[in-house]
Chains A and B, each alone.
Chain A
Amino acid sequence: MTKSPVILARDVVKTYQVNAQTITALRGVSLSFAAGEYLAITGPSGSGKSTLLQLLGGLDLPTSGHLELMGTPIERLSDAQLADLRLRRVGFIFQRFHLMPVLSARENIELPLAEAGVRPAERTARALDLLAYVGLTARADHRATQLSGGEMQRVAIARALANRPALILADEPTGELDARTGAQILDLFDRLHADGTTLVVVTHDEHLAERAARRVHLLDGLVDRDEIARR
């Protein structure tokens, strides 16, 4: 791999202060990966997977250590710059979908486009393309609350893809779905990977982890194993 890393983390520590107690979620994680990689982060509950993913996406700042997103050290980014980074370069997918309930499927996808300044006609077209990509053309004008879990997650994926991000971060994207629906999402991820998107997926799901080219196993806030799958 000769490309410059999308993410570079060195000795990243994250602690939380709960009342008088300090909880250490990450004890010094070092990790880097390049564009086009498909990475699965696994580990037991409480090992710090979600915490790491949030740091990688700039939703939170590390307590100490060095973290570079797309070549820029995170501490050099202002809050607004971080927001722009999340808007244009990173796409988030959550276990609980987190669509805006008052907007339709299409509008949910248009939201980050509108935010990025894309003109209405153009963003509607792109939203419809993305809905087609995730196979939901028929549900374009349904409110988020009128969709099933699998459908919501597909809309969420389309939303994450809206601004053609360099990096997709997903936290247990199949956690709330049954096996068959989950498999559909995994197929979609395969397609994204094939289309050249960089993917980082946190999961308990063995099937998902198996599909990723590289698996990082966390244990107690540290990287326990970092292995490239032999396919």
Chain B
Amino acid sequence: MTWALVIRSLFRHPVRTALVVLGIAVAAALLLDMVMLSGGMERSFSRMLLSRGFQIRLSPRGTLPFDTEATIPGITPLLGRLHQDPDIAAAGPVVAASLHARVRDSLVTFVGYGIDPSSQGLYEVRSGDNLSSTDTTGLLISTPVAERTGWTIGDSVTLLGRLDPQSARAGIERTLVVRGVVRWLYDARGQRSLGANFRVVQRLGPFPDRDVASMVMIKVKTDLAVDRVAARIRSQHPGVEVNSVATLVRQFRARLVYFHQLSLILATISLVVGVLLVGTILTIAVNERAGEFAVLRAIGLRRARIVGLVMAEGAVLTAVGSVLGTGLGLVTARFLDRILTSFPGLPAAISFFVPAPDTTALAAIVILVAGVSAAAYPAYLAARAPIAQTLRADAE
């Protein structure tokens, strides 16, 4: 009976109700998008950093991983000490250098990653084979490399290192065999990156002191030990920067503070729009139907029931609106994500809008709560109106 009253009352003004639902849907969509945006970047960044389970990064003092061309010196003894730590499951060094190759008539530049294939958190093999730990002649390429060069698995290719900028003559050459095609987890869209044994890239790179790494990725045995291990490394090796994924995410967040604030402001605005819509429409509806509410009270409905009826109208409006809005929000999020992920140099694995059941539910619940609370004022108006007087006024 209650629902018949509520639903049919809403259908009395179909155009009006449809507009309100639509308005709430757009507000809910914007809210969902903004909730996704506020948490999404961090979530996808952290997911990307943790994608192969390495929770700690060591980088040259004062830098973030791959932020500069600086390197960590004395890497062999450092790795030795890290391997002795009982909490550490794996420590994979990475060295990055510009490498080149002659492809047909032109000189193509690549990012060369030197890795330890047995403990690496940098790539996933797409086709072909991974390198073995002792393989110093193997090469890993990515799809953008294959597309640019035409190299395929089994090809022997010559890489040039330490290119002299004046003469374009290579300081060192090395012929390697393509073993597999991989996806580099941190590469930007279309970035051309190669991978080879750590020692090979150390030799090819422009490093006067050869025993260096650009970064070390560390896998700790249990997540609980991450902070402890990070603190221990920090005190034992003051010359390196130690960052857990959590601290990296924090720094990332600081850089994207703009999006955070934008999402906060827009989420607030969309909530305000939703609340205003439900509030105004129901206030007007309640005023129009003041006589009906007085009759309901006269035939014995309690004040609380009147409050319930009006709130239920608000709830139905927002519920339908937020269901529509969730769909709309997911669609627009994909569209907005496509725009933002075209930032130059952004790792392809990062998204700004990450759909997740909990954020979706959160946004829906927030808009529902807002909508129902927006109905509180008109509900109060309806319940508080004096019966006798309202009936008299309605009869005039």
Whether the Cβ atoms of A115 and B305 lie closer than 8 Å is yes
Within the complex, the shortest CB–CB distance from B258 to chain A, in Å, comes to 50
Which chain A residues (69-92) contact chain B, with CB distance < 8 Å? 79-80, 83-88, 90, 92
> Cα distance A57–B386 when bound, in Å?
14
A-contact 0/1 string along B227-252, CB 8 Å cutoff: 00000000000000000000000000
Pick the interface stretch among B1-9, B18-26, B202-210. Answer: B1-9
**Assembled-state Cα–Cα distance A92/B388 (Å):** 12
B300, A84: Cβ atoms closer than 8 Å: yes
Contacts of B392 on A, CB cut-off 8 Å? 50
Interface residue ranges of A128-171 to B (CB < 8 Å): 159-160, 163
Given contacts A100-B295, A102-B8, A102-B9, contact A83 B303 (CB under 8 A): yes
Do B297 and A102 touch (CB < 8 A)? no
Kindly state whether residue B298 has any CB partner on chain A within 8 Å.
Answer: yes
**Nearest CB in chain B to that of A54: its residue:** B388
Q: Which segment, of A104-112, A184-192, A204-212, A221-229, faces chain B?
A: A104-112
| CA–CA, A114 and B395, complex, Å | 26
Say whether A87 contacts B301, CB under 8 Å. Answer: yes
Question: Please, which residues of chain B bring their CB within 8 A of the CB of A183?
Answer: none
Q: How far is the CA of A59 from the CA of B301 in the complex (A)?
A: 12
Q: Which residues of B contact A107 (CB under 8 A)?
A: 1, 4
On whether the beta carbons of B387 and A59 are closer than 8 Å, the reply is: yes
Report the Cα distance A79→B300, complex, angstroms.
10
Interface range on chain B (Cβ under 8 Å from partner): 20 to 34
Q: Are A79 and B302 in contact (CB under 8 A)?
A: yes
B387/A60 in contact, CB under 8 A? yes
**Interchain nearest-CB distance for B308 vs A (Å):** 12
- Bound Cα distance from A95 to B299, whole angstroms: 15
Closest to A79 in B: B303
Q: Is A193 an interface residue (CB 8 A)?
A: no
Shortest Cβ distance from A143 into B: residue:
B8
B12 touches A102 (CB 8 A): yes
Chain B residues whose C-beta falls within 8 Å of the C-beta of A102 in the assembled complex: 4-5, 8-9, 11-12
User: Closest CB-CB distance, A124 to chain B, in whole Å?
Assistant: 11
CA distance A62 to B256 in the complex (A): 66
Q: What mask results when residues 355 to 392 of chain B are scored 1 for a CB within 8 Å of chain A, else 0?
A: 00000000000000000000000000000001111011
Q: Please state if B12 and A111 are interface contacts (CB–CB under 8 Å).
A: no
Within 8 Å by CB of B299, from A51, A79, A87, A103, lies: A87
Which residues from chain B contact A86 at a C-beta distance below 8 Å?
A: 297-300
Give the Cβ gap from A196 to chain B, nearest Cβ, in Å. Answer: 21
A54 and B392 alpha carbons, distance in the complex (Å): 10
In the complex, the chain B residue whose C-beta lies closest to that of A51 is B388
Choice from A83, A159, A160 contacting B301 with Cβ under 8 Å: A83
Contact of A114 among B1, B9, B12, B304 (CB under 8 A): B1
Q: Is the CB of B292 closer than 8 A to any CB of chain A?
A: yes
A33 contacts chain B at the CB level, 8 A cutoff: no
CB-CB nearest in chain A for B299:
A112
Assess whether B302 is in contact with A92, with CB atoms less than 8 Å apart: no
Q: Which residues of B contact A100 (CB under 8 A)?
A: 5, 292, 295-296
User: Are A96's CB and B299's CB within 8 A?
Assistant: no
Asked whether any CB of chain A lies closer than 8 Å to the CB of B138, the reply is no
> Across the interface, do A103 and B300 meet the contact criterion of CB distance under 8 Å?
no
- Partner-B contacts on A (CB < 8 A): 50-51, 54, 57, 59-60, 79-80, 83-88, 90, 92, 94-96, 98, 100-103, 107, 110-112, 114-116, 159-160, 163
Known: A79-B302, A115-B305, A163-B300. 4 other contacts (CB 8 A): A54-B391, A80-B304, A102-B12, A107-B1
Chain B contacts to A: CB under 8 angstroms: 1-2, 4-5, 8-9, 11-12, 291-292, 295-305, 386-389, 391-392, 394-395
A-B residue pairs, 9 tightest by C-beta? A87-B300, A102-B8, A60-B388, A114-B1, A86-B300, A54-B388, A83-B302, A98-B295, A59-B388
9 contacts between A and B (CB under 8 A): A59-B391, A60-B388, A80-B304, A83-B302, A86-B300, A87-B300, A87-B301, A94-B391, A115-B305
